[in-house]
Amino acid sequence: MATDRICIGLTYSLGTESKAKTVFRNSGEKYIGQKNAGQKHYRQKNKWQKNRWQKNRWQKNVGGKIGWQEYIGRENRRGNMTRLFQIVIVVLAVAWWPLCAGSSDGRPTGILTALPEEMQVLSQHLKDKRMRTFLGVTFQTGKLEGRKVVLATSGIGKINAAKTAALLLDRFNPGEVIFSGVAGGLNPDLAPGDIVIGTRTAQHDFGKLTERGFEPQTPTAETPLFIEAPGELLRAADRVAARVKLAPVLTTHGTRTPRVIRGVIITGDVFVASPTKVAELRETFKADAVEMEGAAVALVCWQQRVPCMVIRSISDKADVGAWEDFERFIKMAADNSARFTLELLRVLTEQPKVTP
C-alpha cells in the first residue's frame, strides 16, 4: 500500500492524468476503503463532473463502476492547475520585483546615452545590475546612488534614440528620463568639458527645404518645434550645478572649473563640423549645443507625458576641428555629463517627486 501511495504521489507530482489512472487501475483491492471516501467527497462536491466523466465512458475501464480513480484523476488535474498558477505567480513576482523595489512610487528613472563611452561611469556605479534586451536594445536595471534606474545606450541618431526611448517607456514605465552625453558647442563661451542643461530641445534638420533654403518644421499639436524641459527637473539640475565636482576644463590659458549653463540643445542626424552651419543654427534656433539624439527622446517622452531632460557636456565646437576635438575630449566630457547625472539622481531623491 505504501509503495502504491508513493506511486500515486509521484504520478500526481509528474502531473499526467493518464498515468494516475493507470496506477489506480492496477492498484488492487486494498484501496477500497479510501476510494469510497474519495468518491463520496467528490460526489458531494462535483456531481456534474461525475456525470460528465460517465458520459465520456471512462467507467468502462473500471468494470462498469464509477470508481474513485476518475475522481482522483480530476483532482490531479485541479492540483496541477493550482500548482501551475502558483508557479506563474512566483515567476511574475520575481520578474516584477526588481522594477518595483527601492523608490517611493515604484517607477525607476530612465537614463539614456548614445554611445557606450557615455554610459561607462554610470554603468560602473550601478548596483544590483540586471540586463534585459528588447528589439536588440539592452537595458540595465539596478540602483544608482540608491535610486532605482534603467540604463540604455541607444546608438547614434534620432531613429535609434526614439526607438530606445519608446521601448524604455513601454517596458519600464520610468517616472522621468534623463539623456546624458556629449555635444558640439555652438555658444562661443563654451569649452570642452562644460555642461549644458537643456531648457528646451528641437530637431534642427526637420522641416522644409526649398530654393530659399531650409525652414524648420511647422509646429503641430503632437510635435512642437521646441520641447520644454519640466521646471522641477531644471531646478534639480540647478542645485546639482552648485555642488557637483567635475573634471577641469582645458583652455588655451590652462585649466578652469567647468562652466554649467542652462541652454538650448538642438538635435539632427548629422555630425556638425562647419562654422557656416554653426552660424546658421545659432541664428535659427538660438542654440547653445548640437547633438544627435536629445530632441528625439524628449519628443517621445513629451508625447507620453513623461518628464525628460537632456544633459550634455561639450566635446568639440562643431567647427572644422570638431572631429579631432571629439576624439580627444569625448572621454572627459562623457564622464563630466555622467558625474552631473549621478549628482542629479541624488538631488532628485532628496526632493519631492517630479510631476509632468
Contacting positions for ligand ADE (CB under 6 A): 182-184, 271-273, 290-292, 315-316, 318, 322, 326
Shortest reach from residue 289's CB to ligand ADE, in Å:
8
Shortest reach from residue 112's CB to ligand ADE, in Å:
15
Shortest reach from residue 268's CB to ligand ADE, in Å:
7
- CA dist., res. 152 & res. 114, Å (int): 8
Output helix, strand, coil percentages for the chain, rounded to the nearest 5. Answer: 50, 25, 30
Name the amino acid, one letter, at 356.
Answer: P
Of 118, 176, 325, 335, which residue is the catalytic one?
A: 118
Give strand pairing partners of 182: 313
**Active-site annotation holds for 316:** yes
Nearest to 176, CA basis, from 345, 5, 351:
345
Residue with smallest beta-carbon separation from ligand ADE: 184
Of 293, 316, 335, 343, which residue is the catalytic one?
A: 316
Shortest reach from residue 186's CB to ligand ADE, in Å:
9
Nearest to 266, CA basis, from 353, 187, 351, 346:
187
Shortest reach from residue 271's CB to ligand ADE, in Å:
4
Q: Which is nearer to ligand ADE, 90 or 320 (CB)?
A: 320
Q: Which is nearer to ligand ADE, 76 or 153 (CB)?
A: 153
Number of C-beta neighbours around residue 328 at 10 A: 15
Shortest reach from residue 292's CB to ligand ADE, in Å:
5
- CA dist., res. 48 & res. 42, Å (int): 10
Is 337 in contact with 180 (CB distance < 8 Å)? yes
Q: Which is nearer to ligand ADE, 292 or 344 (CB)?
A: 292
Is 354 in contact with 175 (CB distance < 8 Å)? yes
Number of C-beta neighbours around residue 9 at 10 A: 11
Nearest to 206, CA basis, from 269, 153, 148:
269
DSSP 182: E
Q: Which is nearer to ligand ADE, 126 or 272 (CB)?
A: 272
Q: Which is nearer to ligand ADE, 66 or 162 (CB)?
A: 162
* DSSP character string of 185-208: E-STT--TT-EEEEEEEEETT-EE
- CA dist., res. 100 & res. 128, Å (int): 13
Q: Which is nearer to ligand ADE, 287 or 345 (CB)?
A: 287
Tell me which residues are annotated as active site.
Answer: 118, 316
